[in-house]
Structure 1
Amino acid sequence: MADRIARRILVYGVTGSGKSTAAQRISRATGVPWHPVDDLTWEPGWVEVPPEEQRRRIARICAQDEWILDAAYGKWLEIPLARAELVVALDYPRWLSLSRLLRRTAGRVVDKRTVCNGNRETLRTVLSRDSILLWHFRSFARKRRRMREWAADPSGPAVHRFGRPRDLRAWIDALGATEAR
């Protein structure tokens, strides 16, 4: 499917790869609404939305004609995959995604900016057993394998797999130029 007509887009990648930033930029370039997954799955106080409610929220979005999601959790991954026209896969090396994650997390701890629904990353959350840094290590291989499997599967949605941020930026810039026509 041509990039300019993809209106249901899943941005997927390893933790720290820049999925939310990419989704926001794709949304600006195309006018397709972006739905930040963290806002749909975490309530204030880092209370996780129950899985069935997460599924309902995601299904409601994915039933629409146009959407961009910046992640897909295993609990409901099949919902956006069944409707996505395009998966933008951020398949960056560990050193890159981990360095981005460390820099972003440290910055959020220091400046206390909110992440989603008023939540903040703190030294306590960074050092907890649910740490986003630990999650990076737990999920890295699985997410990379998943992206590569999707790219090799002709029965699924189209997959644009990016190994370098500059290639993603060039693609988004071209996408915006195409949409402006």
Structure 2
Amino acid sequence: MVYGVTGSGKSTLAAELARVTELPGIAIDDLTWQPGWVPVGKDEQRRIIGEVCAQNSWILDHGYGSWLDLVNERVELIIGLDYPRWLSLGRLIRRTVGNALTKKPMCNGNVERLDRILAKDSIIRWHFHSFAKKRRRLRQWAADPDGPQVLLFSRPAQVERWLRAQVPGGVRS
């Protein structure tokens, strides 16, 4: 599982890992958001994620707190993107504004809207709401000798070096 604060690049890294390892990559937002930004119910999310985690192999691009226990029972490696706020927030703002301007479809055809960027339920506000909790969780996992292996990265360059080392001949873009 790739885990980190909102805007850290979890989905991008998970997709690249799935590509280079040829393991099934699971985009969590596709499973948890319906068209029109309607959230999938918590019970249904748990059922879906339970089915995903019952498979022999997978790469998840995130773990939501309401079903993280299901993932943690089976995960072998957590790649933690523990980036500073300025980096993850900057990425998030660029991505969100860019997607709103281009109307680039995201999960299940949903699109960002400029008039919603700072709404009460916006992803940018969610970053501020969840940042400390996600960082704390990452660091607790990394410190737990009885949990799964955790690779904690504080800079994108560290991830790039690690990823290159995993693939014979380097990462192919």
Fold match by TM threshold 0.5: yes
Q: Is the 8 A contact 1:41 1:48 kept in 2?
A: yes
The range that moved more, 140-149 or 119-128, is 119-128
Q: Is the 8 A contact 1:29 1:179 kept in 2?
A: no
In the alignment, the residues of structure 2 paired with residue 86 and residue 17 of structure 1 have an alpha-carbon distance, to the nearest angstrom, of: 18
SS of the equivalent of 1:117 reads helix
Return the letter of the residue paired with 1:113.
K
Deviations 1:66-111 (A, max 9, x none): 0000011111011111100000000000000000001101100110
Q: How does 1:111-150 map to 2 (within 5 A)?
A: 111-150=102-141
In the alignment, the residues of structure 1 paired with residue 119 and residue 108 of structure 2 have an alpha-carbon distance, to the nearest angstrom, of: 20
In the alignment, the residues of structure 1 paired with residue 48 and residue 41 of structure 2 have an alpha-carbon distance, to the nearest angstrom, of: 11
Asked if 1:60 is matched to 2:63, the reply is no
In the alignment, the residues of structure 2 paired with residue 179 and residue 28 of structure 1 have an alpha-carbon distance, to the nearest angstrom, of: 13
- Structure 1, unpaired ranges of 5+: 1-9
Q: Shift in Å at residue 178 of structure 1?
A: 8.3
Select the residue among 143, 147, 160 that pairs with 1:156: 147
Asked if 1:28 is matched to 2:19, the reply is yes
Return the letter of the residue paired with 2:9.
G
- Identity in percent: 55
Return the letter of the residue paired with 2:108.
N
In the alignment, the residues of structure 2 paired with residue 34 and residue 18 of structure 1 have an alpha-carbon distance, to the nearest angstrom, of: 15
In the alignment, the residues of structure 1 paired with residue 170 and residue 66 of structure 2 have an alpha-carbon distance, to the nearest angstrom, of: 33
Q: Shift in Å at residue 174 of structure 1?
A: 1.4
CA RMSD in angstroms, aligned pairs only: 1.4
- Structure 2, unpaired ranges of 5+: none
Question: Which structure carries more relative contact order (alpha carbon 8 Å, separation 6+)?
Answer: 1
Return the letter of the residue paired with 1:145.
R
In the alignment, the residues of structure 2 paired with residue 133 and residue 163 of structure 1 have an alpha-carbon distance, to the nearest angstrom, of: 21
Deviations 1:15-53 (A, max 9, x none): 000000000111111111100000000000000000011
Q: Shift in Å at residue 179 of structure 1?
A: 10
Runs of 4+ in 1 over 6 A off after TM superposition: none
